[in-house]
Each structure stands twice: as structure tokens, then as C-alpha cells.
């Protein structure tokens, strides 16, 4: 059924549900990718001198999309405050080391992922999120070109 839209406010109101759903799908893709690289980070090293708490592995957070002003936003991040069990390092320091491919600040010589940068490379920098957004909008009947 066609919908008659006569002003920008009506257009904004009509597009909001589509945008929230699309942003939700894009955030989910980033969240899945981040969790993949967190798992790969854990798989890349088997510590012999300590027992893991797995706080970093469980630190990924996805905030559902919401309307903020005239935008729809969602967040995916590593909750460094969640990681409070580390000795002589903050959660932020652990996440920073992981993004440098280090375990506990040490290069253990394995093929350790750079957790956050690899996530961004595999979702944003390679154009995947743009492609997903375009496909989503096309599936909703929008004409989209890049």
C-alpha cells in the first residue's frame, strides 16, 4: 500500500522503523565480528602460568539502536570496566594490548589478531557494512546506488 508523505516530518517518521531495523542488523554484524576476533585472540595463546578468567572474551557489548535527534544510532564496544580481575593492568590496558596483538603486553609469536582493528577492517573498511545497508534498503523497496 502506498503511503502519502507531504513533508519532511512525515518522511522522517516513515523512515525511522526502517532505519532502526537496518542499524540493528549492522550493529549485530559488527558485534558478531568482534566476538569472532575475541575468540580468535583467546585461541591464539594457551597460557601455562595462569588460569584465565575469560573477562575479555565476554567484554563485547552491543547497544540496541535508538533515535537520537534526527539520527538512528547503535553502539558496539569492548566494556573495559567489565574487566576488573587483571593484576597490574586495567581493562583498558588489556584491550589496548589485544589490539596490538599482544597477550599481557607480550608478543607470544603467534598469529594473534588485533581485535578491534581487525573488526573494523572486516566490517567498515572493506565496505561490508555499506553493502549490507544497501541490500537491506533494496529489500525494503528503496532504489539504492553507490
pLDDT in tens, the chain (146 residues): 566 778 888 888 888 999 999 999 999 999 999 999 999 999 998 877 777 778 999 999 999 999 998 899 999 999 999 987 787 889 999 999 999 999 888 888 778 999 999 999 999 999 999 999 999 999 998 888 87
Q: What pLDDT is stored for residue 18 in this prediction? A: 92
What pTM does this model have? 0.89
Q: What pLDDT is stored for residue 96 in this prediction? A: 96
Q: What pLDDT is stored for residue 105 in this prediction? A: 87
Alpha-carbon gap, residue 4 to 11, rounded angstroms: 9
Q: What pLDDT is stored for residue 2 in this prediction? A: 61
Q: What pLDDT is stored for residue 129 in this prediction? A: 97
Alpha-carbon gap, residue 135 to 140, rounded angstroms: 9
Give me the helix-helix angle, 8-43 and 128-139, nearest 10°.
140
Cell numbers at 6, concatenated:
507531504
65 in Cβ contact with 23 (< 8 Å)? yes
Cell numbers at 36, concatenated:
569472532
Q: What pLDDT is stored for residue 86 in this prediction? A: 80
Q: What pLDDT is stored for residue 13 in this prediction? A: 82
Amino acid at each position: 500500500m502506498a503511503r502519502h508523505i507531504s513533508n519532511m516530518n512525515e518522511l522522517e517518521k516513515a523512515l525511522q522503523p526502517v532505519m532502526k531495523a537496518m542499524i540493528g542488523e549492522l550493529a549485530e554484524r559488527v558485534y558478531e565480528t568482534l566476538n569472532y576476533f575475541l575468540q580468535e585472540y583467546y585461541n591464539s595463546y594457551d597460557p601455562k602460568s595462569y588460569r584465565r578468567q575469560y573477562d575479555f572474551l565476554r567484554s563485547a557489548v552491543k547497544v540496541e539502536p535508538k533515535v537520537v535527534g534526527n539520527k538512528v544510532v547503535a553502539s558496539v564496544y569492548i566494556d573495559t570496566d567489565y574487566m576488573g580481575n587483571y593484576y597490574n593492568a586495567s581493562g583498558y590496558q588489556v584491550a589496548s594490548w589485544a589490539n596490538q596483538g599482544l597477550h599481557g603486553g607480550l608478543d607470544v609469536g603467534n598469529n594473534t589478531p588485533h581485535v578491534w582493528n581487525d573488526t573494523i577492517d572486516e566490517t567498515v573498511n572493506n565496505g561490508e557494512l555499506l553493502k549490507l545497508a544497501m541490500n537491506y534498503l533494496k529489500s525494503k523497496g528503496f532504489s539504492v546506488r553507490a
